[in-house]
């Protein structure tokens, strides 16, 4: 299916902005951070009834980790959803409030949005260790926040989808708290630029010229580029991981990496659903004004999967 024409103006604008930016990694990161700051002023944060929002600091490996809790009304205990924003080098608690609030409202879970350390100031594995540490800490202290330590899931979009998958791997390998689900939204699973989706959709909001900077800023130590915690698609063994829903967009250069990871989960005996949205681009679920029907469909699929996973593991 061809690109949904609703996205054409957005892609044209994004391409023009990219052309006007120097190609040095620092300039690209600065541009993306500035664009997100401008976008935050335009974000529509819905005020779902019964969602209480609190900011907290959790103890981390190199200082406190800021988190934002979205909690439903009631005594609990609520299932817990650890949410990791995309970007790796940009993004914060505010940029992903439009995802976290509705997730809390629609699933009845305690959503914990993690403000992990960003590259290039804090390269791998700093941000990932923050996500892992926050997940373990919340599991150990869930009751204090009316959470259920037996029903913890991870989720993330784009680079946050990678962080969710890598956190699940790390928890399995280190004997951390059991996870009941992983929700991976258009995840960035490795740094390959050789897949068919890159060939077909390079420049559709994400260009290979800009994507090449991530190994440099996130993995300045080249030896780490084969580390499965840096690229979960390189993990030799995916057995014992939590069930997954992988949502991808047809016209996203990162599509194949996410779908291949989902297929490998299935081959390892992990229950997984791979759901591709035809004609959509990277991050389409945030673009409800351009693709309301499919954005709503994807969000509903995600919340249904979370509710089912939490219900299946309720004590």
Q: Is 207 a catalytic residue?
A: no
**Angle in degrees, CA 16, 21, 27, rounded to 5:** 145
Q: Is 282 a catalytic residue?
A: yes
Which residues are 147's β-sheet partners? 78
Which residues are 171's β-sheet partners? none
Cβ atoms within 10 A of the Cβ of 182, count? Answer: 27
Catalytic pick among 130, 148, 158, 256: 158
Contacts of 80 (CB under 8 A, 6+ apart): 109, 110, 112, 138, 139, 142, 147, 148, 149, 151, 152, 153
Write phi, then psi, for 188 (nearest 5 degrees): -100, 100
Q: Is 252 a catalytic residue?
A: yes
Contact 281, 7 (CB under 8 A): yes
Cβ atoms within 10 A of the Cβ of 274, count? Answer: 18
Catalytic pick among 85, 96, 105, 282: 282
Catalytic pick among 4, 148, 190, 252: 252
Tell me the catalytic residues. Answer: 158, 252, 282
């Amino acid at each position: 299916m061809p690109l949904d024409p609703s996205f054409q103006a957005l892609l044209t604008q994004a391409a023009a902005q990219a052309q006007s930016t120097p190609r040095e990694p620092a300039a690209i990161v600065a541009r993306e951070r500035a664009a997100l700051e401008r976008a935050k002023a335009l974000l529509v944060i819905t005020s779902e009834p019964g969602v209480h929002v609190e900011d907290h600091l959790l103890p981390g490996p190199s200082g406190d980790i800021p988190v934002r809790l979205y909690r439903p009304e009631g005594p609990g205990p609520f299932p817990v959803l650890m949410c990791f924003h995309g970007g790796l080098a940009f993004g914060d608690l505010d940029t992903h409030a439009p995802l976290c609030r509705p997730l809390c409202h629609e699933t009845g879970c305690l959503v914990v949005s993690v403000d992990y350390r960003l590259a290039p100031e804090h390269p791998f594995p700093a941000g990932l260790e923050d996500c892992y540490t926050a997940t373990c800490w919340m599991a150990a202290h869930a009751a204090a926040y009316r959470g259920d330590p037996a029903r913890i899931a991870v989720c993330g979009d784009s680079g946050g989808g990678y962080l969710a998958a890598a956190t699940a791997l790390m928890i399995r390998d280190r004997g951390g708290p059991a996870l009941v689900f992983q929700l991976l939204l258009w995840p960035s699973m490795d740094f390959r630029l050789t897949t068919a989706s890159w060939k077909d959709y390079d420049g559709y909001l994400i260009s290979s010229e800009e994507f090449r900077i991530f190994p440099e800023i996130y993995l300045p130590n080249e030896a780490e580029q084969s580390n499965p915690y840096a690229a979960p698609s390189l993990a030799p063994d995916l057995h014992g991981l939590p069930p997954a829903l992988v949502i991808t967009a047809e016209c996203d250069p990162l599509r194949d990496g996410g779908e291949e990871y989902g297929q490998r989960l299935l081959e390892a005996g992990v229950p997984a659903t791979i759901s591709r949205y035809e004609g959509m681009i990277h991050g389409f679920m945030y673009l409800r004004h351009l693709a309301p029907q499919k954005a709503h469909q994807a969000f509903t699929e995600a919340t249904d999967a979370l509710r089912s996973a939490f219900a299946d593991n309720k004590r």
